[in-house]
A and B are shown apart, each in its own frame.
Chain A
Amino acid sequence: MSQPTDAVAVAMSGGVDSSVVAGLLHSRGERVVGLTMQLWNQRRLPDLAGDRATGRCCSLDDVYDARAVAQRLGIPYYVVNFERPFEEQVVKPFIQEYLHGRTPIPCTLCNNFVKFDQFLEMAEGVGARRMATGHYARVAWNPDNGRWELRKSADQAKDQTYFLFGLTQDQLARTLFPLGGLQKMQVRELAREMNIPTAEKPDSQEICFVPNGDYAAFIDAYFREQGIAPEAAAGELVTSGGRVIGEHSGVHHFTIGQRRGLGLARGEPLYVISTDASTRRVIVGRNDELLRARMGVKDVNWISTAPPSAPLRAEVKIRNKHAAASASITPGADPQRVEVHFDEPQRAVTPGQGAVFYSGDLVLGGGWIE
């Protein structure tokens, strides 16, 4: 008996996208194995629970939906447990980043360290060298430069390449994004045609393990579970001029660019300019103080191009909904670190978020904003 390595493992969340991926591959005659990652135990942090809570990953309903789709398609299906790596490599760094005054992207951490790493290894372990997900992105081999290239999806509004900048050549070589060439409407239509039970399920919007998108409440609840006093994160609200104007209950309640009431003197709006984790101060100021022309980006991963030795031009996205801005990227002595100079200053450059470099729809690479 030979080792069956020709199967494709589909990461099934119970949503319409990954359900259609399973259906598409199955209809193409691929040997499909459906796997749902159990990432977070919903019985934890009970004070966050509520009947109306949304955005709850790995709920019994999602597993039920994914299983129903697998049964409908007649493919083998399993729930695989990744709660421990998810907590260690996604949830804890997510909280730690907030406490250090940065604004993290858990989806990217999950992609880098769980989905395209440990899940991919699990897939290979069960006999599937390739995996497929419902991400809106395109991957293709470029024989000219001998690299796997990552491109934005055909549906520009659904493009998820911003979250995929950490993927390595080895990971891309083994990954299928069957929805990359489709519009979301087509995906729903396919779901209906295939009689997939989740065809009308609403899109998920928020961070999957944070109910109602209230990440600060999640962090506070996690503190309580771990026996950490929430007051430990409290501090002062300070103007950019250094004047203390109030107190706050934790730097994790703030993100850069967020509006924070009115300036006392002239009644103009005040915004969070930065947070200083070492003093636990939150600095507020005028909107124009949020503009930055340059930023450092660390842990850069080059995808569709070899690491550059000379400065290059690119469009740079500094958060998921940001319209990519033209910039020059200058590599430094450290090959994993670059300086980015925007042609026009950008509002709310936020440490901890990703910076992703594009050339048109091609993803050159990306890293973390310092």
Chain B
Amino acid sequence: MRRYYFDYNATTPVSPEVLQAMVPVMTEVYGNASSVHHFGQMARQRLDDARRQVAALLNASAEEIVFTSGGTEADNLAILGAARQGHAITTAIEHPAILGAVAQCSSSTTVPVDGRGLADPDEIRRALRPDTRIVSVMHANNELGTVQPVAEIARIAAEAGVAFHSDGVQAAAKIPVDVRALGVSMYSIAGHKFYAPKGIGALFVRKGTTVTPLFFGGHHERERRPGTENVASAVGLGRAAQWAAELGGEEWTRLGSLRDRFESAVLDRIADVHVNGAGAPRTPNTSNLRFDGIDSEPLLIALDLRGFAVSSGSACSSGASEPSHVLMAIGLTPEQARSSIRVSLGRGNDAAQVDALVDALAECVAHLRHIAGRRTSFSLSVPEQPDLTHVPAH
């Protein structure tokens, strides 16, 4: 069976050029980047090159890049490094890495989003308090692809003298990112979302912004992240950033038209489909679709058994019984949230694959709606109606 991957927001394969850059680092440039000798210096040089490449993707300076183990650590470092003892403001559709970290702060305010998935900057402004230490609003949402008005919110935070962080894990290397133009104090990225390996990410920390480390040990990463540098992975991240900076524009245009081709074909061929997050600016590769009357769980499995890998939201919460907090936040009912799937495109996809996915979707959705349509209660009745609001009265 041929298999097709449509879950690039969950993770991506390591690209050939990234792998090519990494292999010699693992086998030949194996020194500890903190060592004084030649081996260490060679590793340090690769690490510095990688840092410059990452900085270039974001329009940052190299010394503003802190390598981390990934997006979760970058998000945690930003929130807890700046605001553990204070008030944090965030939105209802953040990644669990933000929501979980914010829950560790002294207090927090979660700002709602509208039906398109966009936060209202005025709501952020109203949530500011004298003890607010950080505002964190994701750049692009992982499930919907919606792009937030980050620059506007950053201005509000700056006026209040509060640090502003943006989780850019789903935005970096998918849309242009300029941390200067956006005005963010901190910005998170994760390598495996754009063809670098898992286990490497980075936090941009603007000069003058203080973060206290999460870990304790050596003096690495300018006292912000101790631990022997993961040089090979950092080199991979740097090479992936370079690819995105040089060729990303073309690829994003290609993915945008593939996504539009996919959505218009689905809307054309399948009835009662809605695009979640429609009407907001979106990353070019992400499509979140709602198929009324069916459950995404069997749809996802049926597609997988035919060789098509899509997602029912974020991979981080799959297997959970709770509907997606993101889809609930944009006003969907639990049933609507449970009838939604996410298709996220990437370098391996082409028009033929997208067309094959549309065919499979049309058949699976029709099959599932047929089953749902003839659903009748052919079983025995439950012995007693489940009503536990009170125990039997006298």
Interface contact B388-A127, CB-CB below 8 Å: no
Interface contact B306-A352, CB-CB below 8 Å: no
State in angstroms the CA–CA spacing of A368 and B382 once bound together: 10
What B residues does A83 contact at CB under 8 A? 321
Interface contact A38-B382, CB-CB below 8 Å: no
What A residues does B394 contact at CB under 8 A? 278-280
Interface contact A112-B379, CB-CB below 8 Å: yes
The answer, yes or no, to whether B298 is at the interface (CB within 8 Å) is yes
State in angstroms the CA–CA spacing of A1 and B367 once bound together: 13
State in angstroms the CA–CA spacing of A282 and B359 once bound together: 63
Interface contact A81-B319, CB-CB below 8 Å: yes
State in angstroms the CA–CA spacing of A96 and B384 once bound together: 7
State in angstroms the CA–CA spacing of A279 and B381 once bound together: 26
Q: Chain A nearest CB: distance from B114 CB in Å?
A: 28
Main secondary structure of the interface of B (DSSP, over half): loop
A252 nearest in chain B by CB position = B391
What A residues does B36 contact at CB under 8 A? none
The answer, yes or no, to whether A322 is at the interface (CB within 8 Å) is no
What A residues does B378 contact at CB under 8 A? 168, 170-171
Interface contact A127-B305, CB-CB below 8 Å: yes
The answer, yes or no, to whether B386 is at the interface (CB within 8 Å) is yes
State in angstroms the CA–CA spacing of A280 and B390 once bound together: 14
What A residues does B368 contact at CB under 8 A? 125
Contacts A38-B321, A79-B319, A126-B298: A4 and B388 contacting too (C-beta < 8 A)?
Answer: no
Interface residue total, chain B, C-beta cutoff 8 A: 34
Interface contact A352-B392, CB-CB below 8 Å: no
State in angstroms the CA–CA spacing of A33 and B302 once bound together: 11
Chain A window 264-301, contacts with chain B (Cβ cutoff 8 Å), 1 for yes, 0 for no = 00000000000001111000000000000000000101
What A residues does B390 contact at CB under 8 A? 228, 232
Chain A window 89-127, contacts with chain B (Cβ cutoff 8 Å), 1 for yes, 0 for no = 100110111011010100001001100110001101111
What B residues does A99 contact at CB under 8 A? 391-392
Interface contact A126-B388, CB-CB below 8 Å: no
What A residues does B386 contact at CB under 8 A? 88-89, 92-93, 96
Interface contact A1-B306, CB-CB below 8 Å: yes
Interface contact B371-A121, CB-CB below 8 Å: yes
Interface contact B383-A81, CB-CB below 8 Å: no
Contacts A81-B319, A278-B392: A7 and B305 contacting too (C-beta < 8 A)?
Answer: yes
The answer, yes or no, to whether B352 is at the interface (CB within 8 Å) is no
The answer, yes or no, to whether B211 is at the interface (CB within 8 Å) is no
A116 nearest in chain B by CB position = B379
The answer, yes or no, to whether A80 is at the interface (CB within 8 Å) is yes
State in angstroms the CA–CA spacing of A170 and B375 once bound together: 13
The answer, yes or no, to whether A78 is at the interface (CB within 8 Å) is yes
The answer, yes or no, to whether A258 is at the interface (CB within 8 Å) is no
The answer, yes or no, to whether B363 is at the interface (CB within 8 Å) is yes
The answer, yes or no, to whether A201 is at the interface (CB within 8 Å) is no
Interface contact B383-A299, CB-CB below 8 Å: yes
B342-394 interface with A by 8 A CB criterion: 359-360, 363, 367-368, 371, 375, 378-388, 390-392, 394
Interface contact B297-A95, CB-CB below 8 Å: no
Interface contact A38-B319, CB-CB below 8 Å: yes
What A residues does B49 contact at CB under 8 A? none
The answer, yes or no, to whether B320 is at the interface (CB within 8 Å) is yes
Interface contact B384-A232, CB-CB below 8 Å: no
Interface contact A113-B379, CB-CB below 8 Å: yes
State in angstroms the CA–CA spacing of A137 and B386 once bound together: 29
Interface contact A97-B384, CB-CB below 8 Å: yes
The answer, yes or no, to whether A190 is at the interface (CB within 8 Å) is no
State in angstroms the CA–CA spacing of A8 and B295 once bound together: 20
State in angstroms the CA–CA spacing of A127 and B1 once bound together: 16
A162-177 interface with B by 8 A CB criterion: 166, 168, 170-171
Q: Chain B nearest CB: distance from A370 CB in Å?
A: 10
What B residues does A89 contact at CB under 8 A? 382, 386
Q: Chain B nearest CB: distance from A23 CB in Å?
A: 19
Q: Chain A nearest CB: distance from B321 CB in Å?
A: 4
Contacts A1-B360, A170-B378: A126 and B302 contacting too (C-beta < 8 A)?
Answer: yes
What A residues does B306 contact at CB under 8 A? 1, 4
What B residues does A127 contact at CB under 8 A? 302, 305, 367
- A–B pairs, 13, beta carbons within 8 Å: A1-B359, A33-B301, A33-B305, A81-B321, A116-B379, A125-B298, A125-B367, A125-B371, A166-B379, A166-B380, A228-B391, A279-B394, A299-B380
What would 13 more interface pairs be, CB under 8 Å, given A88-B386, A233-B391, A278-B394?
A33-B301, A38-B321, A81-B319, A81-B320, A81-B321, A93-B382, A96-B387, A113-B379, A116-B379, A122-B297, A127-B302, A279-B394, A280-B392
Closest 8 pairs (CB-CB, A-B): A125-B298, A92-B386, A83-B321, A126-B301, A232-B391, A126-B302, A277-B392, A96-B384
